[in-house]
A and B are shown apart, each in its own frame.
Chain A
Amino acid sequence: MGTILSAKGLNKNFGAVMAAADINVDVEEHSIVGLIGGNGAGKTTFINMVTGYLKPASGTIHYAGRDITPLIPREITQLGICRSFQIPQLFGTLTVRENLLVALGIVVLEAKKFASAATLRTENVDAIADETLARFRLTEYRDKLAGYLPEGVRKLLDIAMAMVVKPQVLLLDEPTSGVSADEKFVLMDMVMDALRADRVTILFVEHDMEIVSRYTHRVLAFYEGRIIADGEPDAVLHDDEVIKYVIGNIHASATARGSSHAPA
């Protein structure tokens, strides 16, 4: 397996806050990588830099051997890197199906620029939309307006839209936040099944350590803009620094929220 995504010496600060401090990561093709860390640790900043929304102050990002650091989000999408959002970014006044049709329509319109558009034709856009709805179990919401959906469904649609572009690399920003505890695994199973079939490389931000250890091959732990641990999930989740700075934080904040349960 080769390296598909390679970040070298990424730095980014917002005023005095270091959002990225000398980030060096190579991501293997077809791997599933979890990004963990407390609030403000730099996970989303990393995703934003990879997808071109933020420019690093220094450092480079290579995708499939090509320097994508200077590119803007739509060019990076066209090359095959897509993302979902922590807060789902949907077309609220359109129906679920129309949201997918817009996404597919863009691939048809920009077919010459999209790396993955070869198989997509105007004639089969409708069929692909329906198939995607079925795959993500969204068929019952087909004609509902996206602005009025339950949060879990919005998350799924957000991910489904990122998927129709057939990306090589998919970045999911907190796919299970706002989803109830018993639905989390159902959602992740569905997403992972859909993605595994296409052999997509996945990076996802997650706060739930159970999900991280179950679904990832590798975990990157962020703290104050640095990667403090990088390796197999078991090793990283039992690392002393990670327990002190990342997992400890999450538990502390979970209990601080006033939950009556004893910390696990």
Chain B
Amino acid sequence: MNRSDRTLVGLGVALPVFLVAGWFLPNWLQSLLVLALGKGLVVVGLVLLMRTGLVSFGQGLYYCLGAYAAVSVGRIFKLPDSILMSDAIVMPLFGGLVAGVVALVLGFLLANYRAIFFAMLSLAFSMILYGLLVKMSVLGSSDGFNLAYKTVVGITVPAQAQLYTLYAVSVVMVFIVAFALHRYLRSHFGRLAEAVRDNELRVEYMGTSVRYVVHVNYVIAAVLAGLGGGLVGLSIGHVDPDLAYWTTSGEFVFVAVLGGTGNVAAPILASLVFEWIKSAAYQYAPYTWQMVLGICLLLVIMFLPAGLWSVFKRGAGRA
């Protein structure tokens, strides 16, 4: 009980801090943070799957769908310019919705698989999307297309405030997700995720469906990935099929391992640290930045096997 309250209090305190501090941050850092928060949402979903005992090497599928969805629908159906294609809240939410619907369908198949079979099948689906997008000239083939937002819930945002607005939207969305997921994981149904990971046979013999639990958590993870993809697309202002490429999905697994599964905030923290290390490594070691990342992960696995979050947990345990 105490620990859960601490997380909620922590979230409550951190939200205004993030919102206020963000105002004073330089532009490059604001946009880096949006990127990290958006990808963090994808990893939050991935960690939920890991709690259920599944590792997906294909979250890029939903991440990419989320980034593409809103504008793609407009382009494919030749819709007039509308709120769907230029709103900082509607676009990511639509991305999450599309991802969720696709996951609902694919889930009927994927919920039957575990371990490496699940990982490889999810990877295969993301590569199918990659292949489709590369061939679709209406969506810019391998070049993708640019996108931008002008409004927030229909209200036009002046150009100089746009970056902060997107940052604020991302922060609020991430906090809502963190809060909701924290509650979810402590609900009767949320608790079944770990039960399924530990012992599927027992869950069935207790009288409920393992497949159903897996399917629901798979859809939730996809919605989060779609939402995150939508935010990242807006932050970069450009989408291309690489968002669905398997290395993108691999990066999410990397970040998930970096953070650990201890708390809903762990993947967000890991994502922030990851983007920071990546940009720093890119700047100071432009030819060997991947090696820097690799060494960092190696160090975390060797010295913090439960992820970065275990630093906090250990501190809290002593206090």
By a beta-carbon cutoff of 8 Å, the part of chain A in contact with chain B is 51, 72-74, 77-78, 82-83, 89-94, 98, 101-103, 105-110, 113-114, 122, 125, 161-162, 165
Contacts and interface: CB of A to CB of B under 8 A. Distances in A.
A175 to B, nearest CB: 16
Contacts of A77: 205-207
B191 to A, nearest CB: 6
Given A109-B188, A109-B189, A91 B205 contact: no
Contacts of B202: 89-91, 161
B195 interface: yes
B121 interface: no
A101 B206 CA distance: 12
B281 to A, nearest CB: 34
Interface of B: 188-189, 191-192, 194-195, 197-199, 201-209
- Majority secondary structure of chain B interface residues (helix, strand, loop or mixed): helix
Chain A's interface: helix, strand, loop or mixed, by majority?
helix
* In the A-B complex, the 4 residue pairs with the closest CB atoms: A105-B188, A77-B207, A91-B198, A89-B202
A106 B188 CA distance: 7
A113 to B, nearest CB: 7
Contacts of A93: 194, 197-198
Contacts, number: 72
B204 A74 contact: yes
A90 B105 CA distance: 32
A202 B82 CA distance: 67
10 contacts: A74-B207, A83-B205, A89-B205, A90-B198, A91-B194, A91-B195, A94-B198, A106-B206, A106-B207, A107-B207
A106 B203 CA distance: 8
Contacts of A110: 207-208
Given A74-B204, A74-B208, A107-B207, A89 B199 contact: yes
Contacts of A51: 205
A161 B206 CA distance: 8
Nearest to B200: A89
Contact of B208 (A82, A90, A106): A106
Contacts of B198: 90-94
Contacts of B195: 91, 94, 102
A125 B191 CA distance: 14
A162 B206 CA distance: 7
A92 B198 CA distance: 6
Nearest to A88: B202
Given A105-B189, A105-B192, A106-B192, A90 B199 contact: yes
B131 to A, nearest CB: 38
Nearest to A89: B202
Contacts of B209: 74
Given A51-B205, A90-B199, A105-B188, 5 more contacts: A74-B207, A94-B194, A101-B191, A105-B189, A161-B206
